[in-house]
Amino acid sequence: MTQTIQFTLNGSPVSIDVDEERTLLWVLRDDLSLTGAKFGCGEGLCGACTILLDGEAVPSCQLTAGYAAGKKITTIEGLEQDGRLHTVQKAFIKYDALQCGFCTPGMILRAVALLSANPEPSSDQILSAMDGNLCRCGAHVRIIQAVQTASEAMKGGRS
Amino acid sequence: MTQKGNSAKNPAGTGPPQASITRRAFLKRMGLLGGGIIVYGALGDVAALARAPREGYIGAGVPIDFNAFLRIGADSRVTCFVGKIEMGQGPITSFAQMAAEALDVSYESVDMVMGDTGRCPWDAGTWGSLSTRFYGIFVKEAAAEAKGVLKALAAERLLCPMSRLSTKNGIVFDRDRPMSRVSYGELTRGNIIERHLETLPPPKPTSEYTISGKPYLRRDAMDKVTGRAKFTADMRLPGMRYARILRPPAHGARRIRVDTSGAEQMKDVQVLREGDMVAVLHPDPDGAAAALERISADYDVPDTGINDETIFQHLLEHAPAPAVASEAGSLDSGESSSQSIIEETYLNSYVAHAPMEPHAALAAVEDGKAKIWASTQTPFGVQQQVAQALGLPAEKVRIIAPFVGGGFGGKSASAQAVEAALLARRAGSPVMVVWTREEEFFFDTFRPAAVVKIRSGLNGAGRISLWDYQVYFAGKRGCENFYDIPHHREAVYGEWRIAPGIHPFAVGPWRAPAANTNVFARDLHMNIMAAKAGIDPLAFRLHHLSDDRMRGVLEAAARQFGWTPAKTPSGRGYGISCGIDAETYVAAMAEVAVDRKSGGIEVKRVVCAQDMGEVVNPQGATLQMEGCITMGLGYALSEEVHFRNGRLLDVNFDTYAIPRFSSLPAIETVIVPNPSIGPKGGGEPAIVCMGGVLATAVYDATGAVVRQLPMTPERVKEALKQAG
Ligand code: FES
Ligand code: FES
């Protein structure tokens, strides 16, 4: 049923009239023109569609639009602040932590969620936090380096 | 895709493969491009054709005129057009490096336009690690020739002999009077200039390189970390609708009934029939999915008796006559000079490409013209397919491959583009087709299941005296012998290409097609022989090797790994593998631990050394090696397509297990420098050793020979039982 749904999207309030049963991923991509979250599997198995929901990394292919009501959503497009890249984004560039780049938005958001919950993760904690995000190009080694570096930079107050 | 490129109007398409573009047609096309100025410097076609080393490159249709590759704007910015696509392997960076180097302009001043049939020179497709190796040479030559013409123009402008002129940073200057200078943009401004160079300038010596050969970070990284990079499914057109297509439950299934009435009653749903295809359209993907669910259909699914276990027998029974890939001596003499004979059979299961981006296409068809964005490795091939499907001349069809989210050979076939084009024409509105993950698995062109039989012999001195190698359906690549073996024969029964009636579904090229299977079988067998001869497997290989490049990569890998000689099984879990792929030599060593109870394999460390000739972008090359090693863990350990009667049992990542963060070993890469022989392949070679290096490591750890990839825990346990 079409409803008016309000939530905070990348720092700004939005209000859209949408069928609350629709998949949040498609609403973001089609109704809100944010195509950074990707469709990879549709079953919550790959992490390509990862977004931050109240700071937590979740697969938007598994959520309905109605679920977003009243929540804070961050997509990859909302990570830059005043034209400045997030530390994790910078680290991904610095370490070439991507190849085709299709998994990259999901990877970055997953790492951002990890580092805000646990600013100094061990290597094992990084591996297990990132494990649900798949990358077919095999950029894993670089992604881990990027996440570690971002963690150190954030700890040191640098960004 | 366009990277920092000027937006140019769509010119007419380049049409079908052609030997060359006629000068008039060419100038017309360049005129249509607008902006920029043309420096025309082509030689006569015959002379020019002799230039590029095109043997071995499937690309007779690549234009010879450098203008097809480069445009120098009045602002001195250079646009480089290549028909290749960027799917993660990095040509968007390496081509810009090569063009900048050859033209003597800054790397930053080069904009790349790729994979657009309306703007780029024809190309056969992005595969086989050919991009840098062959196409890169065309780009370098085009740039070198353009630079030669610019110098000739500058000589007239500056009233200075050519011999005194040098180029740097997009400027031609008189070495004796450095203030006497002119920029490329000033030279080309406002005119179309035709020039003929008598001879192509000699290539720049690699010792003078300042851009090529230096590590560059990816130029597409900024777009990719911010979500700005556009993949096909991110494209939007006004009035666009999402399609879902009715699919059969199994390959070989025949539809006997379909009822679309349920879907027809739904709001905003369009039900279309196009030939055999039944599809629904809706403005959003959920609506299209819901409509598809309201279509009911019945199928006849034949019982073929073929499944993932019976397939190997089926393959052996249906093998075509062999082609001999290489041979020397005679197998009979080899047999009689052998003291012991070792005979083994190795199996390889079907493997999926499973790129993270499923196949997608957005098509707009109107006024007898089609424009299609597609995730494809073959934009020019798709142009032909769409033209044929729509009954349009190819020049009325423009294919644009934006960033492609991984291909690995699986996007050489791009049926989704034809589907989208047909539906768009029927619907009268733009149509987006994005395959679901289930469709992606169903329509994938899998790496074929394969069988390798090896019968080999050792003489009294512990040397290989016989090597009778037979490979079924994997293909030839990588099976050729490079060891010093007096009597050998490599027989290839069927290639990896579609073989009607053989495979229950489509097969096709999978990153380094055939080589993964061949190298696995050869290396595991080599280690069995080395064990029989009581020799360390590295020493055993070196005893049979006079090829310096192969010795070089093996020794480099051994140094990095810290290899110490021991007989197999040493209990250490050390593996070794080597091969030649895309003219690149590669060797890998690995360390594993095997859990005897569960059969699980933990890969602790992988070292890979590669001699890939001249390295254009060492950073990019390293990334490709790491990617190959990581991806290769999958086919070696866990990836396998299960099926029964044409029905696929793995349709998503829950049961089809690709490598993850938790499966990662320590990865170390070594590039063995060899700049004098030109660039060789880099996107595939390092993956070919992964089956062999891990199978030999498991053998070394336990004495168990796992003869089938992937080495699942069940197969490891079974092999352990056999080893006793
Ligand atoms: S698309 Fe949502 S997890 Fe794969
Ligand atoms: S970079 Fe291609 S899937 Fe991760």
Residues B491 and B426 in one domain: no
**Coil, helix or strand for B80?**
strand
* Helix B91-103 vs helix B136-158: crossing angle, to nearest 10: 30
Q: How many CB pairs under 8 A join A and B?
A: 173
Same domain, B41 and B125: yes
Cα(B233) to ligand 1 centroid in Å equals 14
Number of domains in chain A: 2
B window 437-496, beta carbon within 8 A of A: 437
Q: Which of B2, B65, B62 is nearest to B29 (CA)?
A: B65
Count of C-beta atoms within a 10 Å radius of residue B615:
26
Are A73 and A119 found together in one domain? Answer: no
Q: How far apart are CA A151 and CA A142, in angstroms?
A: 14
∠ CA A106-A112-A117, rounded to 5°: 130
Strands in B181-183's sheet, in edge-to-edge order, are B165-168, B171-174, B181-183
The amino acid at B654: D
Kindly state the DSSP code that residue B234 receives in the 8-state scheme. Answer: G
**A121/A99 same-domain check:** yes
The number of distinct structural domains making up chain B is: 3
Q: Using CB atoms within 10 A of its CB, is residue B329 exposed (0-12), middle (13-18) or buried (19+)?
A: middle
Give the CA-trace dihedral at B121, B125, B130, B134, to 10 degrees: -20
Distance B87 CA to ligand 2 centre (A): 9
For ligand 2, the distance from its centroid to the CA atom of residue A39, given in whole angstroms, is 13
Say whether A100 and B357 touch across the interface (CB within 8 A): yes
Whether residues A100 and A131 share a domain: the answer is yes
Which residues numbered 226-245 in B keep a CB inside 8 Å of some CB on A? Answer: 226-231, 233-234, 236
- Give contacts of A 64-83 with B, CB under 8 A: 75-77, 79-80
Q: Please check whether residues B515 and B575 belong to one and the same domain.
A: yes
User: Is B618's Cβ below 8 Å from some Cβ in A?
Assistant: no
CATH number at residue A133: 1.10.150.120
Q: From the CA of B506, how far away is ligand 2's center (Å)?
A: 24
Ligand nearest to the CA of B285: 1
Contacts of B72 (CB under 8 A, 6+ apart): B36, B37, B39, B78, B146, B150, B184, B185, B188
pLDDT, greater one: A155 or B469: B469
| Same domain (yes/no): B214, B283 | no
Residues A69 and A112 in one domain: no
Q: Based on the domain organization, do B486 and B573 belong to the same domain?
A: yes
Please identify, by atom number, the ligand 1 atom nearest to the C-alpha of residue A44.
Answer: 3
Pocket test for ligand 2, best of B356, B626, B630 (most atoms within 8 A of CB): B356
Pair B170, B317 in one domain:
no
**C-alpha A128 to ligand 1 mean position (Å):** 18
Q: Are residues A94 and A115 in the same domain?
A: yes
Q: Identify the domain containing residue B472 by its residue range.
A: 311-350+446-723
Residue from B54, B64, B150 nearest B103 by CA:
B150
> How far from B43 is each of B21, B40, B200, CA to CA, in Å?
13, 9, 9
B377, B469: one domain: no
- Are the CB atoms for B493 and B469 separated by under 8 Å? no
Give the whole-angstrom CA distance, residue A51 versus residue A106: 7
* Whole-number percent of chain A with pLDDT over 90: 94
Same domain, yes or no, for B641 and B683?
yes
Residues B284, A46: C-beta atoms closer than 8 Å: no
Q: What is the least distance, in Å, from the CA of A70 to any CA of chain B?
A: 23
Is residue B171 in a domain?
Answer: yes
- Domain termination site, one of A27, A51, A78: A78
List phi, psi (to 5°) of B577. Answer: -160, 150
Task: Name the strands in the sheet holding B70-72, side by side, starting at the edge strand that comes first in the sequence.
Answer: B2-3, B110-114, B78-82, B70-72
Q: Which of A45, A78, A111 is the last residue of a domain?
A: A78
- Measured between alpha carbons, how far is B315 from B390 in angstroms, rounded to an integer? 37
**Based on the domain organization, do A128 and A65 belong to the same domain?**
no
How close, in Å, is residue B448 to chain A by CA atoms? 19
Instruction: Let me know whether A54 and A116 are in one domain.
Output: no
Q: Which of residues 84-103 of A touch B (CB under 8 A)?
A: 85, 89, 92-94, 96, 98-103
Cβ–Cβ gap B227/A76 under 8 Å: yes
* Residue bearing tokens 């030999």: B696
Is B201 within the bounds of a domain? yes
The number of the ligand 1 atom at minimal distance from the alpha carbon of A45 is 3
| Phi-psi sector, B82: left (phi>0), alpha (psi -120 to 50), beta | beta
Cβ burial of A113 (10 Å; 0-12, 13-18, 19+) is buried
- Whether residues A74 and A91 share a domain: the answer is no
Report whether B48 contacts B42 (CB < 8 A). Answer: yes
**Contact at CB, B627 and A23, closer than 8 angstroms:** no
Answer yes or no: do B661 and A130 touch at CB < 8 A: yes
- Flag if B220 and A101 touch (Cβ within 8 Å): yes
Residues of chain B positioned with their CB less than 8 A from the CB of A136: 354-356, 406, 408, 631, 658
Q: Which residues contact A20 (CB under 8 A, 6 or more apart)?
A: A1, A2, A3, A5, A64, A65, A66, A69
- B489: amino acid identity, one letter: R
Of the residues B87, B92, B217, B225, the best mutation for testing chain A's interface (the one with the most A CB atoms within 10 Å of its CB) is B225
Q: Are residues B198 and B295 in the same domain?
A: no
Helix spans in B167-235 (H): 184-188, 221-226
Residues B92 and B182 in one domain: yes
- Strand locations in chain A, DSSP E? 2-9, 12-19, 50-53, 56-59, 72-74
Residue B682 confidence (pLDDT):
82
Phi and psi angles of residue B570, each rounded to the nearest 5 degrees, phi first: -95, -10
Q: B375 CA to middle of ligand 1, Å?
A: 19
pLDDT for position A157: 58
DSSP conformation class of B613: B
Both B76 and B123 in a single domain? Answer: yes
- pLDDT of the residue at B191: 53
- Burial of residue A158 (CB within 10 Å: 0-12, 13-18, 19+) is exposed
Backbone angles phi, psi at B664, to 5 degrees: -75, 125
Of A48, A98, A143, the CB nearest to B224: A98
CA distance A156 to chain B (A): 22
Backbone angles phi, psi at A104, to 5 degrees: -60, -50
- The CA-to-CA distance between both ends of chain B, in Å, stands at 57
Distance CA B712, CA B721 (A): 14
Residue B425's pLDDT is: 98
Give the Cα separation of B575 and B526 in Å (integer).
11
A133 and A68 housed in the same domain:
no
Is the Cβ of B723 closer than 8 Å to some Cβ of chain A?
no
CB-based contact A136 B631, cutoff 8 Å = yes
The last residue of one of the domains, among B166, B201, B224, is: B224
pLDDT value, residue B217: 83
* Distance in angstroms (rounded) separating the CA atoms of residues A158 and A81: 15
Same domain for A62 and A116, yes or no, is no
Q: CA–CA separation, B407 vs B126, rounded Å?
A: 9
Pick from B229, B230, B660: which is nearest to A134 by CB? B660
CB within 8 Å: A101 and B631: no
Contacts of A58 by beta carbon, 8 Å cutoff, 6+ apart? A50, A51, A52
In terms of Cα–Cα distance, which of B88, B72, B82 is closest to B35?
B72
Contacts of A92 in chain B (CB under 8 A): 221, 225
Find the residues whose C-beta lies inside 6 A of ligand 2: A 98-103, 135-137, 139; B 88, 356, 406
Domain closes at, from B224, B259, B291: B224
Q: How far, in Å, CA of A30 to CA of B470, rounded? A: 53
For chain B, say whether A13 makes contact (Cβ under 8 Å).
no
In chain B, the residue whose alpha carbon lies closest to the alpha carbon of A124 is: B662
The pick from A23, A61, A130, A131 for probing ligand 1's pocket by mutation, whose C-beta has the most ligand atoms within 8 angstroms, reads A61
pLDDT of residue B56: 41
Cα of B407 vs centre of ligand 1, distance in Å, is 18
The residue type at A83:
G
Protein residue closest via CA to atom 3 of ligand 1: A44
Q: Does A39 touch chain B (CB under 8 A)?
A: yes
- What are the residues facing B455 on neighbouring strands? B343, B468
In B, which residues are within 8 Å of A45 by CB distance?
Answer: 437, 652-654
Q: Could you tell me the residue range of the domain that residue A63 belongs to?
A: 2-78
Task: Residue B676: give its domain's CATH number.
Answer: 3.30.365.10
B384: exposed, middle or buried (Cβ count in 10 Å: 0-12, 13-18, 19+): middle
Quick check: is B70 in a domain?
A: yes
Mutate: best of A136, A141, A143, partner B, most B CBs <10 A: A136
- We report the CATH number of the domain holding residue A68 as 3.10.20.30
**3-class DSSP assignment, residue B314:** helix
Paired residues of B364 in beta bridges: B371
Mean pLDDT by 10 residues, chain B (724 residues): 37 33 41 37 35 43 70 88 88 90 94 92 73 73 87 92 94 94 85 63 85 86 97 98 98 97 97 97 98 98 95 96 96 97 98 98 97 96 96 96 95 96 98 98 97 97 97 96 98 87 92 95 98 98 97 98 98 98 96 98 98 88 94 98 96 97 96 90 91 98 98 98 92
Question: Could you tell me the pTM of the whole model?
Answer: 0.91
Ligand 1 neighbours, Cβ below 6 Å, are A 39-42, 44-49, 59, 61
- What's the CA-to-centroid distance between B646 and ligand 1, angstroms? 26
Strand ranges (DSSP E) for B104-170?
110-114, 165-168
Provide the pLDDT for residue B15: 33
Closest Cα in chain A, distance from residue B153 (Å): 40
Which residue type, as a one-letter code, is found at position B286?
A: D
Which among B196, B224, B252 is the end of a domain? Answer: B224
- DSSP calls for B283-298: SSHHHHHHHHHT-EEE
Contact partners, residue B265, CB within 8 Å, separation at least 6:
none
- Angle subtended by helix axes A104-117 and A87-94, to nearest 10: 130
User: Residue B491's beta-bridge partner residues?
Assistant: B324, B470
Asked if residue B328 and residue B257 are part of one domain, the reply reads: no
Which B residues, 417 through 436, put their C-beta within 8 Å of a C-beta on chain A? 434, 436
Q: Is A131 on the interface with B (CB under 8 A)?
A: yes
pLDDT of residue B616: 81
What is the side-by-side order of every strand in the sheet holding B666-671?
B574-581, B584-594, B601-611, B666-671
